[in-house]
Structure 1
Amino acid sequence: MAVQDAAVVASNGQSTVHVTFTDDGSTVMKSVTQQAVQAGKTARLIIRASGEVIAAPVVLAPIEGRETRIAVSPDTDAQAIVDLILKH
């Protein structure tokens, strides 16, 4: 998937990974998230970067637009996720 940029955003002690897709990347993300929603409530969208699974969220609605955020747990190194995404 085509990523233009990724960065760590920290707010109130919670880190998120902010991802900006290219136009092609946003089109792909919209399509796969629509498919995940149609697959049902137990379906998960596997997000990989550089061959590693970095998240597997349940998708409640299609992701539209060029930007999204991935919430990470406090014990997860958000910068390491950004590095994996940008390495891709």
Structure 2
Amino acid sequence: MEYSIAKFLLIILIMAFANMCAALYFSNVDRKKAGAAAFWSAMLVLINAFTIINYVENNIYIAAAVIGTYLGTFGTIKWQKARTL
């Protein structure tokens, strides 16, 4: 089964963004900011739908999704911690 390294890297970036959306969603829910939480929730669904449509055709793209989700969450938490210092 063929795969594209460019598509693999794009999925990593998209999933990182998706997890950033998730982290911001939960952060805004915790602070009870309904509008911001709703925005990030909608973005999360949109990004995940796009990614699922693209990586289902080849299982190697699941690895890209896993890497992206890890990087997205890790990066968002580090960024939020840096903002509070």
Same fold (TM over 0.5): no
- Give the TM bin, normalised by the shorter chain: 0.3 to 0.5
Given the two structures, how large is their TM-score scaled by the length of structure 1?
0.32
Given the two structures, how large is their TM-score scaled by the length of structure 2?
0.33
More strand by share: 1
Higher CA-based Rg: 2
